[in-house]
Each structure stands twice: as structure tokens, then as C-alpha cells.
């Protein structure tokens, strides 16, 4: 997910995407805790995507 893709989305779409990423993060954390997570780097990618999404959402909030 790139910032340019996120900037093209509306605020509602960004909020929906954030909810989905938070759910994915929770799922990955549970898999990590139960030692079922094979690709640990997925957790880092989701965390960075959440940060990127929140940054773009803050930029949009400043513009309005």
C-alpha cells in the first residue's frame, strides 16, 4: 500500500481501511502469541501500513 494510493481515497474509506488493518494486526498478534505465525515480517508491514494510513488521514484532516 502506497501513500499515493491512500491519498486518492476519501476519509470514510481511510477509516474502513484502518479498521481492517487493526483487525489484521490483532489476528497476527494472536498468531504470534500462540506460535502459529510463520512470517513475522507481516506484523511489521501491517504496523507500517497503519502508520502510513494514519499519517495520510491526518493530512486530510488538516486540509479540511
- The three-point CA angle 59-50-56 to 5° equals 10
Q: How many whole angstroms separate alpha carbon 28 and alpha carbon 39?
A: 10
Give residues with Cβ within 8 angstroms of 22, minimum separation 6: 50
- In the chain, how many domains are there? 1
Q: Given this model, what pLDDT does residue 27 score?
A: 96
Euclidean distance between CA atoms 33 and 30, whole angstroms: 5
Q: What is the mean pLDDT of each run of 10 residues along the chain (64 residues)?
A: 87 94 97 93 96 93 84
pLDDT of residue 18: 95
Provide the pLDDT for residue 47: 96
Domain harbouring 55, CATH code: 1.10.287
Domain hosting 38: range is 3-63
Burial degree of 56 (CB within 10 A; 0-12, 13-18, 19+): buried
Amino acid at each position: 500500500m502506497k501513500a499515493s494510493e491512500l491519498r486518492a481515497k476519501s476519509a470514510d474509506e481511510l477509516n474502513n481501511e484502518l479498521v481492517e488493518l487493526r483487525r489484521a494486526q490483532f489476528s497476527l498478534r494472536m498468531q504470534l502469541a500462540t506460535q502459529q505465525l510463520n512470517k513475522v515480517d507481516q506484523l511489521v508491514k501491517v504496523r507500517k501500513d497503519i502508520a502510513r494510513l494514519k499519517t495520510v488521514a491526518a493530512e486530510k484532516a488538516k486540509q479540511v
